[in-house]
Structure 1
Amino acid sequence: MDPGRGAAVKEHEAFRLLGTPRFGGILVVSDHASNRVPDDIDLGIDPALLGQHVAVDLGVAEVGAEMARQPGTAAFQGNISRLVCDLNREPHAPAVIPIASDGHAIPGNALDHAGHLARIARFHEPYHTALATLLDDVPPALVLSLHSFTPQLATSDEPRPWQVGVLYNEDDRAARLAIPLLEAEGLIVGDQLPYSGKLLNYTMNRHCEAEGRPYLGIELRQDEVASPQQQAKWAELLARLCNRVALSLS
């Protein structure tokens, strides 16, 4: 599936915007949609890692792009790998530019203080400035925070049974509406599973919880969105879900 097919694309080194945002519409935000590493950055890693969860939330770019083909929906996506800069972390948190991730050393991220600040200024700041401006200029009825998770942890043989997880921090308005709707689709739904939205929720905390904007945090299991057919199916389901939740919140 071509992520830009049928949708206007505004692209920056740190983010891209697909589709046309609409007042009272749906904005799909995916911090970890890309595995791109700029040519002038050498992470010093095996390139094969860029195709794994350690570098990117597999499937979310395509699902978000498919949703952005619908009138009233746009997708705001991170445009660099989280190994370059994790856009869903506090700017001064150690993991925002990880020197190791999932047991893999990232030697190219052993930066001095000036190098750390420069990378934050290059990627993290423009991403969040652009998202804040977009939300202020064209307020959506609902923000969908879209991520994906692995079918099992690399350190465990225990499978994760949830097909979709619904995450939130303090504001659970949209989550409480979405969970029964997803269960009615016959899905195995995790409420704050496979992990809690009270932990790694920086983007939504900053742009939604702090501003009183309703949002829905969704985690899709990666084997659910591995093919174009699966991605299209989830895009359709999430579009219906978001519209129902947004109407109920209005």
Structure 2
Amino acid sequence: MSEAWVALGSPRAGGVLLIGDHASNHVPADIDLGIDPALLTQHIAIDLGVAEVAALLVEAAAVDAAILGGVSRLVVDCNRDEDAPGAVPIASDGHAIPGNALDHDGREARIARVFRPYHDHIAATIAAQRPAMILSLHSFTPSLASDPDQVRPWQVGVLYNEDDRLAAPAIAALEGEGLIVGDQLPYSGKLLNATMNRHAEANGIPYVGIEMRQDLARDAAGQALFAERLARMCNKLALNIAE
């Protein structure tokens, strides 16, 4: 185990691996972000609901294993390229993160401490037990402080980049659940897909990125409902892969 990641379940060759980059709001005790602690309960710090839904999916054997980020995305955002400025964000949704105004050595130390161990573990897991499918699980805020006029009515989003093998079946499965589904919404996987580009597309592994709307995945009832819907989606996608 590592502070950079949390592992659930047992990876299986030919199985389903879930990856949740932003599942934690943990800030190590020796890191001071210089922000109001209340911000750690908000979307800029954590994808609310992801850890709980992931655990339910593993418990239900809808996915074989999950690898979840172990620290807040405000410490290191692992769903970025290593050299991207946003990997150690100095601001998020209009909030400054003064503790991340690091010099080169400070940034390198943060990346070496969290970013590389996280991605190295994912890579090693895939190399040892290559999954048939990867589910990338995130959640999104229904409103942005920096753009309050933006309307985000979708209940769930489906994201992907060049490999769209599972996109249409996932959208159909979720629409079949009665959900309002965003295709490449609330943002496009062609613009923000670093973890899946690295571990799924580069390895030729089918995948789909799922964005749950946070107000629907905030409590236990909503999390259970999302887990049930995503379990049925995974079963349908597995059949699609097998065809």
What SS does the aligned partner of 1:29 have?
strand
Distance 2:104 2:224 in 1: 43
What SS does the aligned partner of 1:68 have?
helix
User: What runs of 5+ residues in structure 1 fail to find an aligned partner?
Assistant: 1-10
Please point out which of 26, 47, 52 is paired with 1:36.
26
Distance 1:70 1:143 in 2: 17
Please give the per-residue CA displacement for 1:124-180, whole angstroms capped at 9, x wherever unaligned.
Answer: 000000000101111112100000011122222343111000000000101111111
Aligned to 1:138: 129
Contact 2:32–2:99 (CA under 8 A) maintained in structure 1: yes
Please point out which of 67, 82, 87 is paired with 2:73.
82
Describe the shift of the 1:70–1:22 C-alpha distance in structure 2 as closer, same or farther (beyond 3 A).
farther
Aligned to 1:57: 47
Distance 1:110 1:159 in 2: 32
What SS does the aligned partner of 2:157 have?
strand
Contact 1:142–1:242 (CA under 8 A) maintained in structure 2: no
Describe the shift of the 1:158–1:105 C-alpha distance in structure 2 as closer, same or farther (beyond 3 A).
closer
Q: CA deviation at 1:106?
A: 1.0
TM-score (norm 2): 0.96
Please point out which of 149, 154, 163 is paired with 1:162.
154
Please give the per-residue CA displacement for 1:188-220, whole angstroms capped at 9, x wherever unaligned.
Answer: 111011110011110000001111000011000
What SS does the aligned partner of 2:166 have?
helix
Are positions 1:127 and 2:82 aligned together? no
Counterpart amino acid of residue 205 in structure 1: N
What SS does the aligned partner of 2:59 have?
coil
Aligned to 1:173: 165
Please point out which of 216, 228, 243 is paired with 1:224.
216
Distance 1:101 1:230 in 2: 26
Further displaced range: 86-95 or 16-25: 16-25
Are positions 1:23 and 2:13 aligned together? yes
Distance 2:16 2:30 in 1: 35
Aligned to 1:70: 60
Q: CA deviation at 1:44?
A: 0.6
Distance 1:141 1:238 in 2: 16
Q: CA deviation at 1:21?
A: 1.5
Aligned to 2:227: 235
Q: Which runs of 4+ in 1 moved over 4 A?
A: none
Distance 1:240 1:12 in 2: 31
Name the % identity. 63
Counterpart amino acid of residue 98 in structure 1: P
Aligned to 1:8: none
Are positions 1:192 and 2:163 aligned together? no
What SS does the aligned partner of 1:238 have?
helix
Distance 1:236 1:17 in 2: 21
Q: CA deviation at 1:84?
A: 0.3
Counterpart amino acid of residue 170 in structure 2: A
Aligned to 2:3: 13
What SS does the aligned partner of 1:162 have?
coil
Contact 1:58–1:222 (CA under 8 A) maintained in structure 2: yes
